[in-house]
Amino acid sequence: MEFFDRFAVPHPSPAIYASMVAISLTALAVIAGLTHFKKWGYLWREWLTTVDHKRIGIMYLISALLMLFRGGVDAIMLRAQLATPDAKLLDAQHYNEIFTTHGVVMILFMAMPFIMALMNFVVPLQIGARDVAFPRLNALSFWLFFMGAMLFNISFVVGGSPDAGWTSYFPLAGNDFSTSVGTNYYMIAIQIAGIGTLMTGINFMTTILKMRAPGMTMMKMPMFTWSSLVANLIIVFAFPVLTVALAMGTMDRLFGTNFFTTDNGGMDMLWANLFWVWGHPEVYILILPAFGIYSEIISTFARRNLYGYKSMVYSMVVIAAYSFLVWAHHFFTMGQGALTNSIFSITTMAIAVPTGVKIFNWLFTLYKGKIEFTTPMLYAILFIPLFTLGGVTGVMLAMSAADYQYHNTMFLVAHFHNVIIPGVVFAMLAGLTYYWPKMFGFMLNEKIGKWTAWLLSIGFILAFMPMYITGLDGQARRMYTYSESTGFGPLNMVSFIGAAIMGIGFILIVYNIYYSTRYASRDISADPWDARTLEWATHTPVPEYNFAAVPQADSIEPLWDAKKKGHVLFKDKFEKIHMPNNSGMPFIIGCIFFAWGFSFVFGLWVPLIITTIGIFVTMALRSFEKDHGHYISVEKIEETETKLRGAK
């Protein structure tokens, strides 16, 4: 039994036991369903082995939505615990575990895959490409992310969740203070997922730079493609820092090194610096593609070309550069000295300027536009004032002297969510609604979508505006309880009510998907929004090869110009198209990485050695594999095109 004791949860509770039962029953139901409906072969052929960027995007989307609800349940539990003074819903240990997992899940396993979902599905279509530059690497990137996310999530029921905060600062994350394997899960799971993300960065940079349609110069790329390029550039520079930091942290915990210890030559502040050298650019990896989504939506539904295209591009590049020059504002209160704090205070305030440029670009695009208030547009309109408020409070936090008052309070929590929820979550939901018909061939219900947008906005205001007040009054973040004498109770109850309203909004998203799947019309055009860019120039559903003929992109908005000015989009005759073959190797490597990570977490050295050998063997097998893909004949293309044209 001693061997099995290491897998036990160190701080069990009825909620954890219930989760164990729920996970087991869900897994059994999925297996039974696949077996009963004889879908194992379909699942393997069409999804587990796919290298199609569109299907990979949809798998990212499903993963992101699942993680959204996992992280959302954590958030509701946190707000319920703080809704009343001296509450007993969670004890200190469980509160620490839940706010740690909430942060990691929402940032790395919800927001990142949501962005990757839209990036995978949309970018190759926007630039007129058949697929990404490295299709198999793209599949491997997804499976590494997915296995990292699953490894992190099983910590809840096997071995215990991490409890040192989503930033996992040392020495709190060291063996002396985090005695369970929870922080091992943190180090290894994020490492595996991060390697996948780094591969994605390289892949999409190559795709955008080398695979654009004829005529599409850099300054004619759609804004979402530009934002994706800049975000992936940041990924390529920032994620290696996280990789190194996680490797050093893992060695400290499992092999007794002293990189981040407070004695024997270690330096705990080294972790804080490495983490935020990655962590602050990470914020812009999230927000820049969101800006790209908003740009596409605002331009489409204002029925105007985007105002100030060049200034939008330049401001994104400036933001990317500045994002690496502001990391130390995350620890103004840790004794760096006045000069250092002043420098980083100035750079932090300066980064607000190119961000402000974008706000004015969107406002000028709306000015005199023929605005159509669809659900995606409603999210975009609501985003502008809410995000601007978050930006203003960010400038307040950028003042290093004032930050001593704000930093370790709920004011900072309110600011961060004030930026991320309108800036990223609203953008992803807007993008989901906008691109849903292209992904699935029917539209989400507009009425339910608008109810969702308003509920999320109202719930957001109620949930986070009170935190600014309690933070300024001294309510500390990361504290699981407070006394009645503080007077924080009423405003925290308002926050809980707001979080509950947001929860209802997220439930409506699920209902909308269910309702629309059952009742929405499938008789929609390939361009149901009357959009402006190339992804709407192909059929719905999108064929394997994306475009039967390579499009000609002679302007910033080639589809709009084709519709309104008579520009010719497709000049070439059909030719046979080369496409990659499906492969099970990325999925197999992902599974081996999962077993490798699990072995590493628990120090199971024999399985670790075996899985490490397995990783290198699969890599070697791939290097010797001769797979030149396949060709789609002209006859098959003509047959597919005739069928798709006839369907609409």
Among 238, 230, 243, 156, residue whose Cα is nearest residue 193: 243
| Mean pLDDT calculated for residue range 531-550 | 92
Among 279, 394, 269, residue whose Cα is nearest residue 336: 269
| Mean pLDDT calculated for residue range 242-250 | 96
- pLDDT at residue 596 greater than cutoff 60: yes
Burial of residue 41 (number of CB atoms within 10 Å: 0-12, 13-18, 19+): exposed
Q: What is the pLDDT of the chain when averaged over all its residues? A: 93
Give the amino acid at 472: L
Q: 2 falls in which pLDDT band (50, 70, 90)?
A: low
CA 180 to chain centre: 28
pLDDT in the model for residue 568: 82
Among 272, 197, 295, 290, residue whose Cα is nearest residue 237: 197
pLDDT in the model for residue 293: 97
- pLDDT at residue 590 greater than cutoff 70: yes
| Mean pLDDT calculated for residue range 590-615 | 96
pLDDT in the model for residue 506: 94
Task: Report the percent of the chain where pLDDT is more than 90.
Answer: 82
> For the CA atoms of 133, 136, 140, 142, what is the dihedral angle to 10 degrees?
60
E strand or H helix at 579, and its extent? strand 577-579
Q: Report all structural domains of the chain as residue ranges with CATH numbers, in order of start.
A: 49-583+627-646 (1.20.210.10)
pLDDT digits (tens, 9 = 90+) for 468-478: 999 999 999 99
Long-range contacts of 388-396 (CB under 8 A, 24+ apart): 388/359, 389/418, 390/415, 390/418, 390/419, 390/422, 390/423, 391/352, 391/355, 391/356, 391/419, 393/418, 393/468, 394/348, 394/352, 394/419, 395/348, 395/349, 395/352
Among 472, 463, 399, residue whose Cα is nearest residue 425: 463
pLDDT digits (tens, 9 = 90+) for 417-436: 999 999 999 999 999 999 99
Sequence-ordered list of residues with C-beta below 8 angstroms from that of 108, at least 6 positions apart, any chain: 149, 190, 193
Contact criterion met (CB below 8 Å) for 530 and 537? no
| Mean pLDDT calculated for residue range 59-63 | 97
- pLDDT at residue 648 greater than cutoff 50: no
Separation between Cα atoms, residue 494 and residue 487, nearest integer Å? 13
pTM of the model: 0.96
- pLDDT at residue 647 greater than cutoff 60: no
Q: 646 falls in which pLDDT band (50, 70, 90)?
A: low
pLDDT digits (tens, 9 = 90+) for 91-129: 999 999 999 999 999 999 999 999 999 999 999 999 999
- pLDDT at residue 16 greater than cutoff 80: yes
pLDDT in the model for residue 11: 85
Annotate 167-220 with DSSP letters as a single string. Answer: TT-TTTTSTTT--STHHHHHHHHHHHHHHHHHHHHHHHHHHHHH-PPTT--GGG
Separation between Cα atoms, residue 384 and residue 377, nearest integer Å? 11
What crossing angle do the helices spanning 585-602 and 182-210 adopt, rounded to 10°?
A: 150
Give the amino acid at 25: L
- pLDDT at residue 217 greater than cutoff 80: yes
Please state the three-class secondary structure of 470-509 as a single string. Answer: HHHCCCECCCCCCCHHHCCHHHHHHHHHHHHHHHHHHHHH
pLDDT digits (tens, 9 = 90+) for 301-323: 999 999 999 999 999 999 999 99
